[in-house]
Chains A and B, each alone.
Chain A
């Protein structure tokens, strides 16, 4: 239902399933008690003999309390476990142990694909850089060939914005820098974003798996024109 990337969708579906499960128990319980324990006649008999100035008698059940401590704990450990691999995939390390190999040689292609788990894997990656300023993006394809990566300008809603052309099947590692304040390039259709902080160099994987053209946005408040700091990203075949 989410329709973002296969990695995201897989996680989302798992979480929604468990949310529905927990929700069904909680809300089912709530609705049942709301109707079943409703007073018929407007009278509210003092079930536990509450008296003003008297601390009420204990009402507990160790077994139940341990159950609903341990079971949610197990569920949470499970949810953390299934989130671990995606964490490694999104912030993959470089090199042979990572998901995207090492930097591509001249003429080499990433040949990225989505594996059964929903993770994007590549043979190698291309390096590019993105520089952020108030209030526009500057893409730098560095040494990449024209068909792999090129920059241009496009007119978006009557305004001229930077345009980044990428190639489908290629994976890019973008080095992010900022000239002034924090920004965050958000690549919605790649399901990726990372903050860019002045004085710090951050990195972001851009796995371009299919042909698409989408609007890239700034996702960290950076001042007056934050909403208008957009760029178009086109992934060509």
Chain B
């Protein structure tokens, strides 16, 4: 047995070692001290061989004309033959230029019979691109021309060597950022699948059976229950929040120092485009939809939404559209137009092919949002519980109503623009082609008519969340309920008449500039009312600082700062300097991240117990808040100043002042580095939230029906609520602590209700 082992090991070793043996370049026969001989037997110092025409160091793949020659020896004019050569190179390849030479291998050349009568030959050598040094060995033979048996007697030969330097170790192949991104996305999908399987296992650890997996996953894939769909939206939103975050980090690494070349312009442009599109459409909107789906029917006492199957369609349109949008990425030619996709660049050929996919995917999202709008508007209009008039709805529901109304009215314009872009790019229509009579400004109008209400669509639900959390944390009624509603409605209306402020520098007429300036400034009034109302709600309360309360306070700080910085733009004299700079980036990240995202972090900590039946860990929550809030401010606050000194957005790099010209000050480079580091810290801090959520699912404390002492209907249901959420034949009636309540709708209310419901009975909702 051990003998077999020894023999086997020797054989194995031999198999490993053998291929590493290489032959000597000089061959293995006729070897003498001075190397091998060609024809003659003796070397002679009187023969001098030389190689010329070689560079000192070569450039990759360049062709050089090499001359090999010899002097001396018996070969001379008048002999029958004069001489010959053999040239060998360790790398690269030879090519003949005339019939005097021939190749005996890719990098070995010798003379032909015709070439026997020369003492110098020219041959072409093409350098490799390996970068390694290349050795040449030349043997030349000086022939005395006596033919016959001893034809090679009296010939003398010698050899010459030369080395051509390479350019160092070959550069490592550039990393394809898309391969990295694709790998990251695939890895996350695998991890997600593992999590899904684990969740399935935890559902019933003792009764784990594979046969139960198919029905379980099918239930999730085909459900029309608003709670399951809400969870699906939620998971999608969090997943793409991570993907968008990864893209942001790629952007920040590139910008961490001026003149950096971490990724090329091409990829950088695609990354910032996808960062914007992903964060707004695939992260923020689904997170909002997730909470809306979960909470709104619970809050109004409805068993489900008005159109449950339409709801499922709205959701499933989203991940499929994500595939379309990202197809451009995987093809290496993703959209590179900025999420705003300005014309005419978006329809030119210099913009990547992925733009068409990007437009198509977003069209699906337009469809998804429009259907969601129909669903929620109907649900809120007709399925409210008895006792819940319009002015008895919880503020989160109001915020979803206003947001969906805005979305529903604005997103079709975006859809129209996208269809035009798609047609321009695919069948050659001329909507945005100037030479065909198209107008690029049309896109700007269509896009911003949608785009501005869109940003309010994403922030107004956060307002709703804050209202709920502040009131419950302070154990008070929200201050000024009616004015909160009017303020949200006011924001919703004004949102449609301010979109011109994105186009101040596009050659607007002075009158319109002034009007837009005024209306944009006016948006601050209803928003300010809301902020002051929230602060007044805290008055007289007794607040315990749980994580949802902390995030709400954080929101009040960052959203207010973002709102104040937003006031600088409508002042035209400043906008002309601040437009397209990092001041804009700072402002919108303060309101979008500091507003929407922080609002939804608060919502997660507030409603997670209701949705999953488990409490989140408060200590991890506080850690998440502290690390997130601090790193977030370190990340975005410095961008204000960078914008004022002139750092432009959407650029691959930036310039620092030199002796010849003024540009950004010296400290801009250091600040950018600090921002980049903070970006990584902020990303890492959010992993604490994910860990908290998973940990709670597995072994969190069981949650009661009403852990925080809220008043709205969702706190009446169990945690998690049953399906259907309320018994359709036993909807609870909302009581009212105030005596004088106008439950009867007024004239407009009656007219509206007559539009909605066919029957006389006002109370009946649809099923």
Contacts and interface: CB of A to CB of B under 8 A. Distances in A.
Contacts of B480: 59-61, 65
Given A47-B540, A72-B525, A221-B337, A200 B580 contact: no
A178 B561 CA distance: 37
B393 to A, nearest CB: 9
Contact of B506 (A197, A215, A223): A197
B258 to A, nearest CB: 9
Contact of B266 (A55, A180, A224): A224
Contact-residue bracket for chain A: 35 or more
B660 A221 contact: no
Interface in B534-591: 535-545, 553, 556-557, 560-561, 564, 567-568, 570-574, 576-577, 579-581
A54 B646 contact: no
Interface in A1-50: 2-5, 7-8, 11-12, 15, 19, 22-23, 26-27, 29-30, 33-34, 37-39, 42-50
Interface in A181-237: 181-182, 184, 186, 188-189, 191-195, 197-200, 202, 212-215, 217-228, 230, 232, 234
Interface stretch (A88-96, A102-110, A122-130, A145-153): A88-96
A79 B528 contact: no
A68 B265 contact: no
A195 B579 CA distance: 10
Contact of B269 (A87, A194, A224): A224
A184 B580 contact: yes
Contact of B507 (A73, A76, A200): A200
Contacts of B541: 37, 47
B571 A192 contact: no
B737 A57 contact: yes
A11 B388 CA distance: 49
Contacts of A82: 571
A73 B577 CA distance: 26
Contact of A33 (B531, B539, B564, B655): B539
Interface stretch (B47-55, B143-151, B419-427, B704-712): B704-712
Contacts of B677: none
A192 B576 contact: yes
Contacts of B336: 223-224
A10 to B, nearest CB: 8
A47 B471 CA distance: 11
Contacts of A215: 655, 661-663
Nearest to A158: B259
Interface string A135-176: 000000000000000000010110000000000000000000
Contact of B539 (A3, A37, A221): A37
B709 A8 contact: no
A87 B572 contact: yes
A184 B507 CA distance: 11
B445 interface: no
B531 A221 contact: no
A52 B342 CA distance: 50
A108 B724 CA distance: 83
B732 interface: yes
B753 to A, nearest CB: 20
Contacts of B572: 83, 86-87, 90-91
Given A55-B734, A79-B521, A186-B648, A224 B265 contact: yes
Interface string B456-484: 00000000000000011111111111110
Nearest to B665: A3
Given A30-B557, A69-B525, A69-B529, A193 B737 contact: no
Contact of A156 (B266, B483, B661): B661
A219 B648 contact: yes
A225 B480 CA distance: 52
A116 interface: no
A213 B505 contact: no
Contacts of A22: 564
Given A53-B734, A59-B479, 15 more contacts: A5-B577, A11-B574, A30-B553, A37-B474, A38-B543, A72-B524, A156-B655, A156-B661, A180-B344, A181-B344, A182-B342, A191-B576, A197-B507, A215-B661, A217-B648
18 contacts: A8-B573, A8-B574, A15-B568, A26-B531, A30-B553, A39-B544, A43-B542, A44-B544, A47-B476, A48-B476, A50-B711, A60-B482, A68-B528, A69-B525, A195-B507, A197-B440, A215-B662, A217-B651
